[in-house]
A and B are shown apart, each in its own frame.
Chain A
Amino acid sequence: MVTSTTGLRRAVDGPAGQWFGLAVRLGLAVVWAWAGLAKVSDPAEAAQAVRAYEILPESLVKPVGYGLPFLELALALLLFFGLGTRIVAVLSGLLLLTFIAGITSAWARGISIDCGCFGGGGAVDASQTEYLQEILRDTGFLLLAAWLVYRPRTKLSADAWLAT
């Protein structure tokens, strides 16, 4: 029992854990890059995806719709290089919690929208809403971010390079 916990601990903190961390970090980077790129091409569509949540006032719809994809791309870039991994993972987690809260709120208020998580978005037919899948998906991404908050030291990262 004791040996197995220390074994696990050694695995998490050792090189194997850091390689796993690299995979998690790059995985989350791909998620953010994909989400950001999908929203960059059509600013009007991105703004409408935000407007459809009926949470933000009209004056904030465009700044958020236009800026959010670039925030996601910036997080992707930082995760890719592994710079400030823990703080970037914390920001990623906060952003994902915001998304989950937004989707939950839309679901609870009974409005029918697409989350616009990876492009698209806006009002859809009530039969086309996928709130549960969207929340579960974001929760999965949240686990990736949580791991990096817990163990931010990963292989091939700018953080590791700076620490030497």
Chain B
Amino acid sequence: MSEKNREGKRTARERLQEERVAEEARRKRNKKLAVIGVVVAVIAVGVTVGVVVQNQRSKPDTPVAAPAGAIGTKNLVIPDGPANAPSTLVIYEDPRCPACGSFEREFAPTVDQLQDQGKVYNNYHLVSFIDRSLGGKGSKYGANALACAQDAGKFRDYHDVLYKNQPDETSDSFGNKATLISLAKQVPGLDTPKFEACVNDNKYSGWVSAVQQDFDKSSYKSTPTILLNGTPIYPKKGDEEITPDNLVKWINEANAGKPLGTTGPGSASPAPTSTASESNTPPSP
């Protein structure tokens, strides 16, 4: 009897002990699950909110303000030269890109001459990706200043001045708005209070970013990218190296038998009238 009783007491104590251990293990497991839950929740909420916010911030894709006379489906392209010229030269350039600078310094006189002869119509994409790899603001501010010059009808001249005075790639002097404004003094009539305000307010920053996003999505990865009637010609067209003489030759070949574009005063930047430039824009699908 007493023997049995003792046994019963012991098993009761053991059972209590086992329960306490099980309780402890359950408590630990619950704690662990709660921690994992919090970790997952922090990550999920953070990422979801982040994606939504960033999506909101990068809208709209179509910029509100584009410089005067910009063309293309989203008005991301600066036209220069006679819109009805038989050949079109599409140029992707970053204001800070050294290869663009050497291209411009070597080819600008030839390209200007071809435009003035009514042979070619330039379409500029002012991209700004060097700021990303090297840091700074020179590509973006430079592109904005070029858009401001487009507004003033002095795109071509200011464009030539900027590339003639391009700093070393790693020095970000175009990131200083005062530098961009002082260079504008080399273009007669450009340095007005309106132009200065446009540069200082970074008026076309949204447009500049949209132009860059458009370039991001294109298959082109470097600048300058230059297309003559849709065919890449930089640094080579087929087996032929690009030189001012070859550029003239290629354009003359492409233009053979076609009427030249309208030239004359005002045929430089911007395009004479917006309707003329639009007529040359392929209809959007």
Contact = CB atoms under 8 A, between A and B. Distances in A.
Interface of A: 40, 42-48, 51, 58, 62-63, 65-67, 69-71, 73-75, 77-78, 83-84, 87-88, 91, 114, 119-125, 128, 159, 162
Contacts of A42: 132
Interface residues of B, number: 27
B232 to A, nearest CB: 16
Contacts of B133: 114, 120-122, 124, 128
A75 B50 CA distance: 14
A124 B133 CA distance: 7
A53 B28 CA distance: 43
14 contacts: A43-B55, A43-B58, A44-B212, A46-B54, A47-B58, A47-B216, A83-B38, A87-B39, A114-B133, A120-B133, A120-B135, A123-B129, A159-B35, A162-B35
B31 interface: yes
User: Top 3 closest A-B pairs, CB basis?
Assistant: A70-B50, A66-B54, A74-B46
Interface in B1-50: 31, 35-36, 38-39, 42-43, 46-47, 49-50
A58 B35 CA distance: 35
Contacts of A66: 50-51, 54-55, 58
A162 B31 contact: yes
A162 to B, nearest CB: 6
A45 B129 CA distance: 9
A75 B43 contact: yes
Contact of B42 (A77, A124, A125): A77
Contacts of A84: 35-36, 38-39
A72 to B, nearest CB: 9
Interface in B206-247: 209, 212-213, 216-217, 221-222
A40 B231 CA distance: 37
A114 to B, nearest CB: 6
B132 A121 contact: yes
Contacts of B39: 78, 83-84, 87-88
B36 A123 contact: no
A29 to B, nearest CB: 13
Contacts of B38: 83-84
B275 to A, nearest CB: 32
A44 B58 contact: yes
Given A44-B58, A128-B133, A78 B51 contact: no
A75 B133 CA distance: 26
B25 to A, nearest CB: 14
Contacts of A87: 35-36, 39
Interface in B76-90: none
Given A48-B216, A128-B133, 19 more contacts: A40-B50, A43-B57, A43-B58, A44-B213, A44-B216, A48-B129, A48-B132, A58-B217, A66-B51, A67-B54, A73-B46, A74-B47, A78-B43, A83-B38, A87-B36, A121-B133, A125-B222, A159-B35, A162-B35
Nearest to B135: A120
B49 A70 contact: yes
Contacts of A128: 133
Interface in B244-285: none
Contacts of B46: 70-71, 73-74, 77
Contacts of A83: 35, 38-39
B35 A74 contact: no
A120 B216 contact: no
